[in-house]
Amino acid sequence: MSRAAVVAWAAAIVEDLEFGAARAWKAESPGRHVAGYLPVYAPREIVRAAGMLPVGIHGGGDRLEIIRGDAFYQSYICHLPRSVIELAQSGRLDFLSAMLFPSTCDVIRNLSGVWQILYPDLYVRYLDLPQATDPQIATSFWRAELETLAVGLAGVAGAAFETEKLREAIAVENAVRAAVRDLYRERREAPWRVPTEEMALLLRAGEVVPAETFLAQARAYMAAPEEGRRRDRCRVIVVGAFCEQPPMGLIKTIERAGCFIVDDDFLLGNRLIAEDVPTEGDPLSNLADSFVRHARASSILYEPDPDGKRRLVARRVAEAEADGVIFASASFCDPALLDRPMLRSGAEAAGIPCMAFKFSENSAQFQQFREQAGTFADSIKLWGNA
């Protein structure tokens, strides 16, 4: 299979706001259930162990006209919740049996309550990710939360929670995380071979289809003959777009303006746990412990290291061998925008060129971004070694 074929497959999945792939999976067998989850991180292993398909609900992007959603959210709240509401109120999420709301920010937290009110028959759960600084206390808490979720979802699916199924699900998600890591590594090493617009499509499609399908497509993509050619572009990391996703046009614009994106925060949940979760022993404890000990530093989690924020971007830039940083945050995104001064000052103190802009998932005009990214790339090329 060619890379173009994989990308075409992914694009069709991503552009389908009716979630046809997930609906088709559900229709294949009676009694199947699908659980949706909001960004950033949800334990998909728990969903999978209940025999359910986990589906990331990442908004409607730039393809969804907001008709009902604006009646639920004020103008100074980010775009994501209004497009998620729009999806639900227009019936596009009526195939879901459960909806999970992780503790990304207060907007998503409160959206869980909106869901409880609007859809009282649905299984709705707010997932308060462990933030305690003591790993033992945090793991104990998160294990109990995971068990509550596991039992709850098993109930929705009409079965009992089985640890063996969770162990199998952890193995599958380990494979998914490894594939995602491989994609990121390949792009980092040869970004001209892995345009970010292609990778982002593939990863977004992976949020909607069964893991096995995603793995097959990801492996096909990486195994396909090399395409693309080296270009004289600067290497940048894009920081801050971990929840509301930038429109594909914005990603293309950044890369066509003279930048290779060599690291990013897009769909961060699919690799938030940075290492494989052990499959031996108690799987609930393993999953809890892996999150507590191996979650990547991000704006959604408390940073216990006083120097952590200052060092984070410089470390990521070094790991990605990047030339600069683009802080791209969704408008009104508290986690990203409150973090930005700390991250940026740390990067600038390390002599790393930075630029910043805000976007919305439905941004449609990219001229301004092209000018900014192009100027940024030019400045790095002209004065980067000065």
> Which chain residues interact with another protein by CB under 8 A?
71-74, 76-77, 81, 101, 103, 105-107, 109-114, 116-118, 125-126, 128, 130-134, 137-138, 140-141, 144-145, 148, 299, 302-304, 306, 309-310, 329, 331-335, 337-342, 344-345, 358
Q: Shortest Cβ distance from residue 112 to another protein (Å)?
A: 6
Classify residue 176 by burial, with Cβ atoms within 10 Å: 0-12, 13-18, 19+: buried
Based on CB atoms, which residue is closest to another protein, 15 or 305? 305
Return the DSSP state at 193. T
Q: Shortest Cβ distance from residue 282 to another protein (Å)?
A: 16
Closest by CA to 138, choosing from 260, 287, 258, 38, is 287
Q: Shortest Cβ distance from residue 271 to another protein (Å)?
A: 22
Based on CB atoms, which residue is closest to another protein, 108 or 262? 108
Q: CA 59 → CA 24, 88, 107, 108, 360, distances in Å?
A: 20, 10, 14, 12, 11
Q: Shortest Cβ distance from residue 160 to another protein (Å)?
A: 20
Strand partners, 359: 330
Q: CA 166 → CA 51, 120, 201, 276, 279, distances in Å?
A: 10, 28, 28, 14, 9
Cβ-contact 46, 146 below 8 angstroms:
yes
Q: Shortest Cβ distance from residue 240 to another protein (Å)?
A: 11
Closest by CA to 135, choosing from 269, 261, 294, is 294
Q: Shortest Cβ distance from residue 276 to another protein (Å)?
A: 26
Tokens of 66: 């907001």
Based on CB atoms, which residue is closest to another protein, 258 or 335? 335
C-beta atoms surrounding 384 within 10 Å? 12
Q: Shortest Cβ distance from residue 239 to another protein (Å)?
A: 14
Based on CB atoms, which residue is closest to another protein, 299 or 362? 299
What is the rounded CA–CA span in Å between residue 65 and residue 380?
38
Based on CB atoms, which residue is closest to another protein, 281 or 341? 341
Based on CB atoms, which residue is closest to another protein, 5 or 338? 338
Q: CA 242 → CA 73, 159, 214, 263, 328, distances in Å?
A: 21, 34, 20, 12, 10
Based on CB atoms, which residue is closest to another protein, 16 or 348? 348
Q: Shortest Cβ distance from residue 203 to another protein (Å)?
A: 26
Based on CB atoms, which residue is closest to another protein, 146 or 322? 146
SS3 139: helix
Based on CB atoms, which residue is closest to another protein, 7 or 146? 146
Tokens of 210: 């069964």
Strand partners, 36: 55, 99
Q: Shortest Cβ distance from residue 234 to another protein (Å)?
A: 23
What is the rounded CA–CA span in Å between residue 143 and residue 102?
15
Based on CB atoms, which residue is closest to another protein, 21 or 333? 333
Closest by CA to 66, choosing from 54, 84, 49, is 84
Q: CA 349 → CA 11, 328, 341, 367, 369, distances in Å?
A: 40, 19, 12, 30, 25
Q: Shortest Cβ distance from residue 59 to another protein (Å)?
A: 15
